[in-house]
Structure 1
C-alpha cells in the first residue's frame, strides 16, 4: 500500500515577471555570502510559472504579502514576506532568504508545501489566507482581502 509512502510534489507557484527578475538578482547578489539561501531561492524561481505583471491574483504570496499559514506544529502564524533589509521576526516580517520565506513565495491560499529548515528537518505548511498591503496613502484599511480563504476549521 502506498499511503505511508506518499510522494510529495512541490505545488505550482506563480510569480510576476518583474518580481521574478528582482528576486533572481537578489539571489545572485547574495550567492557568495549565503549560497544555501541563494540556491534555494533560485531553485524555486526556476520551477515557478512566470506570469505578466498585474496578473498575479490577490491570494498569491508575493513580496509584501501578509500570509496566514498553519505549520506542522499546529499553531497558526501570520507573517509578512519581505526583502532581507526589512526582516524583523519580532514584527512578523520574514525574509525571502529564509527557508520558510522561500517556501511561501508564489503559493496561493489552500496550497501546502514541504520545506527544509536550516537544521535539515523537513516541515509542511498550509497557506490559509493571503492578503496584500493597502496602496500607499490608503489608511482606511491596511490590507486588501484575498479572493479565497480556507475554512478556519483547518
Structure 2
C-alpha cells in the first residue's frame, strides 16, 4: 500500500532507463521482505516516464544525482541519491530505500512532493537544484 499522497496529485517524474530495471528489482525484493518503502518505490516506478539518454536525465534526480531541496522553513539540504549499499548519512548520501529517497527520485528543479517519514509525519519538499 502506498502511504504517500495519491498518484493523481503527485508531480510528473522521469526515471533513466539504465536505472529502471535495477530499481524495479530492488523494489520487488523489498516488497517481498514486507517493507512499506518497497511499495512506495514500486508505485513511483509504475507512474514514472522512462527516459533514454543522459541529457534528459541531467534535469531530473536520478541514481547518483546530487540535489538540493528544502522542506518547510528549514535550510536547504544537499544530498546524493544512491543505492542502499552506498548510503552514508554523514556524507549526505541518501538511500533510494528511504521515504525521502523515494520522494526525491525522478523530480526536477522546482517540483514539490509530500512524503511520509517513518515516524508517520508528513513532510513536503521542494527541489531547489539538480546536479550530476
Please say if 1:72 is aligned against 2:72.
yes
Q: Give the equivalent residue in structure 2 for 1:37.
A: 37
Q: Give the equivalent residue in structure 2 for 1:103.
A: 103
Q: Give the equivalent residue in structure 1 for 2:62.
A: 62
Query: Is there any run of 5+ residues in structure 1 with no aligned partner, and where?
Result: 1-7, 133-154
TM-score (norm 1): 0.76
Structure with bigger helix share is: 2
Alpha-carbon distance, 1:37 to partner: 1.2
TM-score (norm 2): 0.88
| Aligned residue-pair number | 125
Q: Is the 8 A contact 1:15 1:56 kept in 2?
A: no
Q: Distance in 2 between matches of 1:36 and 1:46?
A: 16
Partner of 1:12, secondary structure, is coil
| Backbone CA RMSD of aligned residues | 1.5
Please say if 1:118 is aligned against 2:101.
no
Structure number with larger C-alpha Rg: 1
**TM superposition outliers: structure 1 runs of 4+ over 3 Å:** none
Q: Distance in 1 between matches of 2:39 and 2:73?
A: 26
CA deviation profile, 1:103-135 (whole Å, cap 9, x unmatched):
000000111111111111111001001110xxx
Partner of 1:100, secondary structure, is helix
Higher relative contact order (CA 8 A, sep 6+): 2
Q: Distance in 2 between matches of 1:111 and 1:86?
A: 26
